[in-house]
């Protein structure tokens, strides 16, 4: 499903309600949708892909200087090939990652990629603003009485361990998994490989749409809505053609989580899931991925 006019309709209440209904319908059926007319400049998106390619093309020893610490609580920095496994039942994912959160990431390849920090900070600010707009229309779609409920539970979105990653050639580039947080914004290149599991249990391609953001919900939102909305499993496979098989795939991801100390309780009051803090849940999931 493609949802349009999110950017231009911000001040039009009736249109926002319609967009909110479309989002809920998409997340209730397949768990993914595309958003266009989002307002993030394409030039900035292109710059992001540009600096990420330069970084991942650096020699391994240069990238390792920016490595993510072994401490699970710090999720910022470079993650080398095979260090993360989103499906622990599979071998480690053959992908490289650079995790980034403003004010937390301390290791930058300033000599090799001097513009990287500035561009990532600008892009992060743009993603944060679109994240709040999506949360606002999501609030309308869920018919919550407090119009600011979701926005207020994500006040520290710029401190919550959101990150970006880029994937390079390998076997299974990313094992089947559902995302951990509330919502995910995904910017894809044209290589493809992302597949989404539908309600019949079949994986179908999430073909890149030029200029669009692919959006899906994560485990926190599923539990928050007491399974009204499902965090859909997905994976990234190798393209079948020889040319694409040997071409690096890049993606940029903005993970949206509630504040660390926020306690998730079922919105319908059912207590289908016991209340839990975002911090504890995310750290538990990250620990499993980095065993």
pLDDT in tens, 204-230: 888 889 889 999 999 999 999 999 998
pLDDT of residue 8: 47
* 80 and 99 Cβ atoms separated by less than 8 Å: no
pLDDT of residue 263: 93
The strand ranges marked E within the chain are: 2-3, 32-35, 77-79, 96-99, 164-166, 174-177, 183-188, 194-197, 203-205, 213-217, 234-236, 251-256, 263-264, 276-277
Closest CA to 282 of 176, 201, 136, 162: 162
Radius of gyration of the chain (CA): 18
Which residues of the chain fall short of a pLDDT of 70?
A: 1-13, 71-74, 82-94, 104-105, 158-175, 238-247, 289-291
Q: How far apart are the first and last CA of the chain?
A: 36
* 180 and 281 Cβ atoms separated by less than 8 Å: yes
pLDDT of residue 290: 63
Closest CA to 128 of 166, 101, 167, 165: 101
pLDDT of residue 242: 45
pLDDT of residue 69: 75
Q: Going by C-beta distance under 8 Å and a sequence separation of 6 or more, which residues neighbour residue 20?
A: 137, 138, 139, 140, 141, 142
Alpha-carbon 213 to chain mean position? 10
pLDDT of residue 174: 66
Q: What percentage of the chain's residues is helix, strand, coil (to nearest 5)?
A: 30, 20, 50
Q: What is the pLDDT of residues 27-80, one digit of tens each?
A: 888 888 899 889 999 999 999 999 988 998 899 899 999 888 776 566 788 888
Q: What is the pTM of this model?
A: 0.85
Write down the architecture of domain 41-123+157-289 according to CATH. Answer: Sandwich (2.60)
pLDDT of residue 275: 93
**C-alpha distance from residue 76 to each of 5, 45, 67, 143, 177 (Å):** 33, 21, 8, 35, 21
Query: H helices then E strands: how many in the chain?
Result: 8, 14
Q: How is residue 233 written in tokens?
A: 């499993």
Closest CA to 286 of 66, 75, 64: 75
Q: Where are the domains of the chain?
A: 41-123+157-289
Beta bridge partners of 184: 216, 255
pLDDT of residue 90: 66
């Amino acid at each position: 499903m493609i949802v349009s006019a999110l950017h231009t309709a911000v001040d039009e209440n009736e249109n926002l309600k319609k967009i909110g209904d479309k989002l809920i319908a998409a997340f209730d059926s397949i768990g993914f949708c595309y958003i266009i007319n989002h307002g993030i400049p394409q030039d900035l998106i292109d710059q992001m892909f540009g600096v990420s390619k330069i970084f991942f093309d650096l020699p391994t020893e240069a990238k390792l200087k920016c490595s993510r610490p072994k401490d699970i609580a710090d999720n910022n920095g470079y993650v080398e090939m095979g260090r993360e496994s989103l499906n622990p039942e599979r071998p480690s994912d053959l992908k490289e990652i650079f995790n980034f959160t403003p004010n937390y990431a301390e290791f930058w390849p300033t000599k090799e990629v001097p513009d990287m920090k500035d561009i990532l900070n600008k892009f992060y600010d743009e993603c944060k603003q679109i994240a709040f707009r999506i949360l606002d229309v999501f609030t309308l779609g869920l018919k919550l009485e407090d119009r600011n409920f979701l926005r207020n539970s994500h006040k520290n979105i710029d401190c919550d361990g959101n990150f970006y990653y880029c994937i390079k050639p390998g076997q299974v580039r990313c094992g089947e998994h559902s995302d951990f947080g509330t919502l995910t914004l995904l910017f894809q290149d044209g290589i493809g490989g992302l597949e989404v599991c539908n309600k019949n249990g079949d994986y179908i391609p999430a073909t890149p749409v030029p200029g669009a953001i692919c959006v899906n919900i994560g485990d926190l939102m599923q539990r928050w809505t007491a399974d009204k909305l499902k965090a859909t499993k997905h994976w990234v496979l190798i393209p079948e053609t020889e040319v694409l098989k040997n071409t690096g795939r890049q993606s940029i991801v903005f993970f949206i989580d509630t504040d660390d100390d926020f306690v998730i309780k079922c919105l319908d009051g059912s207590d289908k899931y016991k209340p839990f803090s975002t911090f504890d849940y995310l750290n538990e999931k990250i620990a499993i991925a980095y065993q």
